[in-house]
Chain A
Amino acid sequence: MAVPAVKIDHLTKIYSADLGKKPMCAVDDLNLEVEQGEVFAFLGPNGAGKTTTIKTMMRLLFPTRGFVEIFGIPNLSVKAMRSVGFLPEQPQIYGYLTGREFLDFTARLFRLDRSTRKKRIDDCLEQVGLIKRADGLIRGYSRGMMQRLGLAQALINDPELLVLDEPMSNLDPVGRKEFRDLILELKDKGKTLFFSSHILSDAEMIADRVGIVNQGRLVNTGKLRDLIEAQIRSIEITFIMTPDKTAKLGFEQANIVQQDEHMLVRLENDADVQRTIGDIMRLDGRIVSVVPQKRTLEDIFMTELGG
Chain B
Amino acid sequence: MSVLTIAMNTFRESIRNRVMINILLFAVGLILLSIVLGEWSLGEQIKVIKDFGLSAMSIFGLLIAIFIGIRLMVQELEQRTIYLIASKPIRRWEIVLGKYSGLALTLIVNVILMAVTLLVVNLIIEGRIDLGLLPAVFLIYIEILLIVAFALFFSSLMSPQLSALATLILYMLGHLTNFLYEYIRVFPDKGFHWLLKGIYYIVPNLEKLNLKMAVVDHVPQPPHVVAWATAYGLCYIVIVLILTAAVFNKKDLK
Chain A residues packing against B (C-beta within 8 Å):
15, 55, 58-62, 78-82, 84, 86, 88, 91-94, 96-97, 105-106, 108-111, 150, 153
Q: A96-B13, A96-B16, A108-B1 are in contact. Are A55 and B253 (CB under 8 A)?
A: yes
**A78 touching B91, Cβ below 8 Å:** yes
Contact of B87 among A59, A79, A94, A96 (CB under 8 A): A59
Tell me the minimal C-beta distance from A178 to chain B in angstroms: 22
**B86 touching A109, Cβ below 8 Å:** no
Tell me the minimal C-beta distance from B36 to chain A in angstroms: 36
A residues within 8 A CB of B16? 96
**B84 touching A61, Cβ below 8 Å:** no
Tell me the minimal C-beta distance from A75 to chain B in angstroms: 10
**B85 touching A62, Cβ below 8 Å:** no
Report the Cα distance A94→B1, complex, angstroms: 20
Q: A81-B87, A109-B5 are in contact. Are A62 and B250 (CB under 8 A)?
A: yes
Interface centre among B2, B79, B81, B88 (most CB of A within 10 A): B88
B90 an interface residue at 8 Å Cβ cutoff?
yes
Report the Cα distance A109→B7, complex, angstroms: 12
**B84 touching A106, Cβ below 8 Å:** yes
**B83 touching A91, Cβ below 8 Å:** yes
Tell me the minimal C-beta distance from A238 to chain B in angstroms: 53
**A88 touching B80, Cβ below 8 Å:** yes
Contact of B5 among A92, A93, A94, A105 (CB under 8 A): A105
Q: A61-B254, A109-B85, A110-B89 are in contact. Are A96 and B2 (CB under 8 A)?
A: no
**A60 touching B88, Cβ below 8 Å:** no
**A153 touching B89, Cβ below 8 Å:** no
**B89 touching A82, Cβ below 8 Å:** yes
**B89 touching A92, Cβ below 8 Å:** no
B161 an interface residue at 8 Å Cβ cutoff?
no
Closest residue of chain A to B17 (Cβ to Cβ) is: A96
**B13 touching A94, Cβ below 8 Å:** yes
The list of the 3 closest CB pairs from A to B, nearest first, reads A81-B89, A108-B5, A109-B88
List 16 other contacts, CB 8 Å, given A59-B86, A109-B6: A55-B253, A58-B86, A60-B253, A78-B91, A79-B89, A81-B87, A81-B88, A86-B87, A91-B84, A92-B81, A92-B83, A94-B13, A96-B12, A106-B88, A110-B89, A111-B1
**B81 touching A109, Cβ below 8 Å:** no
Report the Cα distance A81→B79, complex, angstroms: 22
B residues within 8 A CB of A58? 83, 86-87
**A88 touching B1, Cβ below 8 Å:** no
Interface centre among A88, A109, A153 (most CB of B within 10 A): A109
**A97 touching B12, Cβ below 8 Å:** yes
**A62 touching B252, Cβ below 8 Å:** yes
B9 an interface residue at 8 Å Cβ cutoff?
yes
Report the Cα distance A91→B79, complex, angstroms: 9
Report the Cα distance A106→B252, complex, angstroms: 22
A-B contact pairs, 13 of them (CB 8 A): A55-B253, A60-B87, A60-B253, A84-B87, A88-B83, A88-B87, A92-B80, A94-B13, A105-B9, A109-B2, A109-B5, A109-B88, A111-B2
A residues within 8 A CB of B6? 109
Q: A60-B252, A93-B81 are in contact. Are A78 and B12 (CB under 8 A)?
A: no
Tell me the minimal C-beta distance from A160 to chain B in angstroms: 13
B residues within 8 A CB of A110? 88-89
B residues within 8 A CB of A111? 1-2
Closest residue of chain B to A78 (Cβ to Cβ) is: B89
Tell me the minimal C-beta distance from B144 to chain A in angstroms: 23
Report the Cα distance A206→B19, complex, angstroms: 47
Closest residue of chain A to B9 (Cβ to Cβ) is: A105
Tell me the minimal C-beta distance from B166 to chain A in angstroms: 18
Closest residue of chain B to A62 (Cβ to Cβ) is: B252
Q: A88-B84, A91-B83 are in contact. Are A109 and B90 (CB under 8 A)?
A: yes
Report the Cα distance A38→B211, complex, angstroms: 65
**A153 touching B84, Cβ below 8 Å:** yes
**B84 touching A93, Cβ below 8 Å:** yes
Report the Cα distance A97→B84, complex, angstroms: 14
Report the Cα distance A111→B81, complex, angstroms: 20
A residues within 8 A CB of B79? 92
Tell me the minimal C-beta distance from A107 to chain B in angstroms: 9
